Amino acid sequence: MSQENLMTDTHYDAYGFKVQSMIKKPINYGAIDTDEAAQLGGELFVHRWGGAEYGEAITLYWVVEAATGTVKMSRFEHFGNPVARAANDMLCMLSRNKKVEEVAEITYKSLEYFLRDNPTTPALPEPMQYTLTHAMTAAAEAADAYLGNKPDEAGSVIVCDDAPISRTTIEQVIRLHDLESVEQITHYTLAGAFDSDCATKLGDILRVVRAQMAEEAATQAVPEDTEFAEMTDEQKIAKINAVIDQHIRHFLVMDGGDMEIIDIKQNGEHHDLYIRYLGACNGCASASTGTLFAIENALKTHLDPNMRVLAV
Amino acid sequence: MPIYLDNNHLTRPDEQVTEAMKPFLGANFHDPMAPYTQANLSRRAFGDALEKLYAGIHAKKEDEIIITSGDTESNNWLFNSIYVHQILTGKRTSIIISERENLAIMAAANFLESQGVKVFRLPVNSDGVIQPQDLLDYITPRTALVSVTMVDEESGAIQPIEELAEICEQYEVPFHTDATQAMGKIPVDVQRAPITFMTFSAHTFHGPVGVGALYIRQGTELPPMLMGDPAAMHGKRAGQLNLPGIVGMGKAIELAVDALEFDMEDVREMRDALEEKVREIPDVQIITPWSLRVPNTLTFAVRGVAASALLIELNRSAIAATDAVPSPIRRGLIDAIGADTALRHTVITLSLSRMNTEEEMDDVFKALEESIGLLRDESPVYEATTNEEQA
């Protein structure tokens, strides 16, 4: 509890400029018909997610170029809290010109950072985080449906009566956001928001996942005094990712890009990190100069002076 | 001009109320319980306010009206005191509420349930109204309390309090009703039924916020929850008296009762004119029939339109209203009345007051019609749910 918590954070006027604009006038709102899809050189693919009974429903319209499996155009229609329009609108923008399987891989961090007005202020208050989860889940399910992938058993079991969210998604959300309470699960998924009987089920899932996370952390734990050079490659990558998340990623995402780690290799006294730029970073003018130095400097400062970063 | 239609939540204080309060926010700040002469004006004002409160609900001189900070405090005091002094002591065993109580009562009952108390929840019928005979399925002489709201804050449904209270009297079980949503809308008379406890708050009848009361019928024991100075409220509720609030509540209840019929007739006419037009919009379902509802409330489901989206559209037209959707601690209206679950998240409540105008209702309807049309045009579920229903 803090002074900030004492104020309601879901007030209509509490959102940033970008989110408010997308709530009011989403650019990618509306249906696409087969004629329009044909004009755009693709086939229409429609996926419906959620339902009126849950209070949240999304219909995704994709124009997919059959030969390449590339999403040429993406639009949506939504029933529910209009704040969700922002997440869906941004996801539609990010989906364009990506292969269907790449749409399913758009990360929460990318989506959330793109909705920010500035790098340090979260786009949405915690109680509205579910809008991001819903948008990503709908898109991932659409991609699976398009590609003919069938969810596993846990992926098809809806846990609560009040949100179309599977057990697999709830487990992923707990891990991704390091959630510690049922209330937080509700904020990130809407599960349990209206179905009070669901709290016990969510509590059980939370306990199981937290126990797994604790076990994993114990096996992967690095003693505090371990030198970076003495860590395993997995431990090094985890440390590098943490530094990139904290110091670099939001700047990349705000510019429409991102990066991913390909490999790390020991080269004499140097730790050579191989990365790949994503989105706007891929091929941008500063990718091999300013951006690369910024990443390398951050890693040298926070991890080891012998870090070297190579873009592939 | 902004239009305020969230009066079941909070009403604007009447100017006569704020004028009456002003002296007690300044020079006449004294404790009405103080023995010195300087406090005489405060003491007199406190006495006058109590007179108005007793008259306002037709309480007898022998009854008690204990001032609190509002209905939430009154309800929590009652439930916790019953738990500690009746249930934990083994004198009584269970509590009966309805499934459509206000959130303070739902939360208090949920807490007692978590402590092992049996809590039974009376259902409502398809009109949103409790069937008094249902109480007979649950009540026993060992029931510690039956608590049923006088008026549902979302649907505006008037509950059969007199019949329920009479059943409780036969079983010698205390009966409580929260009248917060009834005050200033329908006559509230504690003599018309054997009501043991009654809660109300000034903020729903154009009084100030942060002040309310718990009525306790003569001869009923209810140990205090807030401990402190035994002189305050005769040992029933400690803490410095909120005299400006009490004076304001006294004035507000006087105004509400004096002009009840006249004011509510005007409000009903405005509401009905709006309701008549709303009924013309296709696929709109009014919750609770006209004759079973308080005169200021219009609650309806708009198929294919999320209530949260409609409220944001209305907000753009400077209209303040609220939704009536499920919450984690209370069953939603649609589920409670057994309506189509596709309507679960589509219900909004417009609650009027004597401070609204007929012109405002015209503007509200225009905004509603336009917003519903717009949202349905782009709704991914409107056509689908209608087709399903037709099938």
Q: What percent of chain A has pLDDT over 70?
A: 93
Integer-rounded Cα radius of gyration of chain A: 21
Determine the topology of domain B15-258 in CATH: Aspartate Aminotransferase; domain 2 (3.40.640)
> Which of A92, A190, A194 is the best substitution to test chain B (most B C-beta atoms within 10 A)?
A194
The mean per-residue pLDDT over the stretch B352-363 comes to 97
The mean per-residue pLDDT over the stretch B56-80 comes to 98
> Given pLDDT bands bounded at 50, 70 and 90, which one contains residue A285?
low
Report DSSP state, residue B86: I
Residues A22, A73: one domain?
A: yes
The tokens for A204 are: 């059980």
Boundary of a domain, candidates A117, A147, A177? A147
**Alpha carbons B146 and B284: distance in angstroms, whole number:** 35
Residues A75, A6: one domain?
A: yes
A17-45 residues labelled b (16+ CB within 10 A) or e (exposed):
ebbbebbeebebbeebeeeebeeeebebb
Residues A118, A216: one domain?
A: no
The mean per-residue pLDDT over the stretch A275-280 comes to 78
Residues A214, A89: one domain?
A: no
Cβ contacts (< 8 Å) between B302 and chain A: which residues? none
Cβ contacts (< 8 Å) between B327 and chain A: which residues? 194
- B48 vs B233, more confident: B48
- Mean pLDDT over the full length of chain B: 95
Q: What is the pLDDT of residue B292?
A: 96
Residues A123, A232: one domain?
A: no
Q: What is the pLDDT of residue B247?
A: 98
pLDDT digits (tens, 9 = 90+) for A34-87: 999 999 999 999 999 999 999 999 999 999 999 999 999 999 999 999 999 999
- A188 vs A233, more confident: A188
Residues A217, A239: one domain?
A: no
Nearest to B184 by CA among B101, B295, B291, B102: B295
Q: Which domain covers residue A203, as residue numbers? A: 151-221
Helix (H) or strand (E) holding A79: strand A70-79
The tokens for B344 are: 């679960």
The backbone torsions φ and ψ at residue B310, rounded to the nearest 5 degrees and listed phi first, read -65, -40
> Given pLDDT bands bounded at 50, 70 and 90, which one contains residue A139?
very high
The mean per-residue pLDDT over the stretch A1-26 comes to 80
**Alpha carbons B355 and B13: distance in angstroms, whole number:** 10
- B37 vs A223, more confident: B37
Question: Quick check: A257 and A281 in contact, CB under 8 A?
Answer: yes
The residue written with tokens 């994709």 in the block is: A62
Report DSSP state, residue B14: P
Instruction: Determine whether the interchain pair A52/B329 forms a contact, defined as Cβ–Cβ distance below 8 Å.
Output: no
Give the type of residue at A209. Answer: V
Residues A257, A217: one domain?
A: no
Distances, alpha carbon B170 to alpha carbons A294, B96, B140, B195, B239, in Å: 80, 15, 10, 12, 36
**Alpha carbons B33 and B17: distance in angstroms, whole number:** 22
> Given pLDDT bands bounded at 50, 70 and 90, which one contains residue B150?
very high
- Taking the Cβ of residue B344 and every Cβ of chain A, the question of whether any pair is shorter than 8 Å is answered with yes
The mean per-residue pLDDT over the stretch A243-249 comes to 85
Which range is least confidently modeled, A86-90, B233-237, B362-366? Answer: B233-237
Question: Quick check: B371 and B314 in contact, CB under 8 A?
Answer: yes
**Model confidence at B385: pLDDT above 70:** no
> Given pLDDT bands bounded at 50, 70 and 90, which one contains residue B283?
very high
**Model confidence at A10: pLDDT above 80:** no
Q: What is the pLDDT of residue A277?
A: 82
**Model confidence at A1: pLDDT above 60:** no
Q: What is the CATH number of the domain that holds A294?
A: 3.30.300.130
Integer-rounded Cα radius of gyration of chain B: 22
The mean per-residue pLDDT over the stretch A141-151 comes to 92
DSSP A6-17: GS-S--GGGS-H
Edge-to-edge strand list for the sheet holding B94-98: B64-68, B212-216, B197-201, B175-178, B143-147, B94-98, B118-122
The backbone torsions φ and ψ at residue A181, rounded to the nearest 5 degrees and listed phi first, read -140, 160
Sort strands A56-65 and B175-178 into parallel, antiparallel or unpaired. Answer: unpaired
DSSP three-state, residue A256? coil
> Given pLDDT bands bounded at 50, 70 and 90, which one contains residue A228?
confident
Q: Name, in order, each residue with C-beta under 8 angstroms of A78's C-beta and a sequence gap of 6 or more.
A: A29, A56, A57, A58, A59, A84, A85, A88, B380
- Taking the Cβ of residue B385 and every Cβ of chain A, the question of whether any pair is shorter than 8 Å is answered with yes
Nearest to A307 by CA among A291, A286, A293, A287: A293
Cβ contacts (< 8 Å) between A51 and chain B: which residues? 342, 381
**Alpha carbons B122 and B99: distance in angstroms, whole number:** 6
Boundary of a domain, candidates A174, A189, A221? A221
Nearest to B242 by CA among B32, B63, B55, B73: B32
Say which of B325, B332, B381 has its CB closest to residue A57. B381
**Alpha carbons B353 and B204: distance in angstroms, whole number:** 10
**Alpha carbons B212 and B246: distance in angstroms, whole number:** 8
Domain count, chain A: 3
> Given pLDDT bands bounded at 50, 70 and 90, which one contains residue B142?
very high
Q: Least CA distance to B347: which residue of chain A?
A: A55
pLDDT digits (tens, 9 = 90+) for A15-30: 899 999 999 999 999 9
Q: What is the CATH number of the domain that holds A132?
A: 3.90.1010.10
Q: What is the pLDDT of residue A247?
A: 85
Question: Quick check: B314 and B6 in contact, CB under 8 A?
Answer: no
**Alpha carbons A197 and A179: distance in angstroms, whole number:** 20
Boundary of a domain, candidates A108, A123, A147? A147
Which range is least confidently modeled, B211-215, B297-301, B327-331? Answer: B327-331
> Which of A53, A77, A85, A89 is the best substitution to test chain B (most B C-beta atoms within 10 A)?
A53
Residues A53, A112: one domain?
A: yes
**Per-domain residue ranges of chain B:** 3-9+260-390, 15-258
ipTM: 0.87
Sort strands A98-99 and B3-4 into parallel, antiparallel or unpaired. Answer: unpaired
Q: What is the pLDDT of residue A201?
A: 93
Residues A9, A48: one domain?
A: yes
The backbone torsions φ and ψ at residue B212, rounded to the nearest 5 degrees and listed phi first, read -165, -160
Distances, alpha carbon B229 to alpha carbons A82, B73, B238, B240, in Å: 51, 18, 5, 9
- Mean pLDDT over the full length of chain A: 89
> Which of A79, A85, A92 is the best substitution to test chain B (most B C-beta atoms within 10 A)?
A79
pLDDT digits (tens, 9 = 90+) for B170-198: 999 999 999 999 999 999 999 999 999 99
Edge-to-edge strand list for the sheet holding A257-267: A257-267, A270-279, A307-311
Nearest to A79 by CA among B303, B171, B82: B303
Instruction: Determine whether the interchain pair A57/B380 forms a contact, defined as Cβ–Cβ distance below 8 Å.
Output: yes
The tokens for B88 are: 């934990």
Q: What percent of chain B has pLDDT over 90?
A: 93
> Given pLDDT bands bounded at 50, 70 and 90, which one contains residue B391?
very low
- Taking the Cβ of residue B113 and every Cβ of chain A, the question of whether any pair is shorter than 8 Å is answered with no
Question: Quick check: B152 and B159 in contact, CB under 8 A?
Answer: yes
> Given pLDDT bands bounded at 50, 70 and 90, which one contains residue B262?
confident
**Model confidence at B316: pLDDT above 60:** yes
> Between A and B, how many residue pairs show a Cβ–Cβ distance under 8 A?
66
Q: What is the pLDDT of residue A118?
A: 85
Residues A93, A160: one domain?
A: no
CA B92, B197, B67 angle in degrees (round to 5)?
125
Say which of A53, A54, A193 has its CB closest to residue B328. A193
Q: What percent of chain A has pLDDT over 90?
A: 54
In this prediction the pTM is 0.87
Residues A136, A256: one domain?
A: no
CATH code, B3-9+260-390: 3.90.1150.10
The backbone torsions φ and ψ at residue B147, rounded to the nearest 5 degrees and listed phi first, read -130, 115
Sort strands A70-79 and A56-65 into parallel, antiparallel or unpaired. Answer: antiparallel
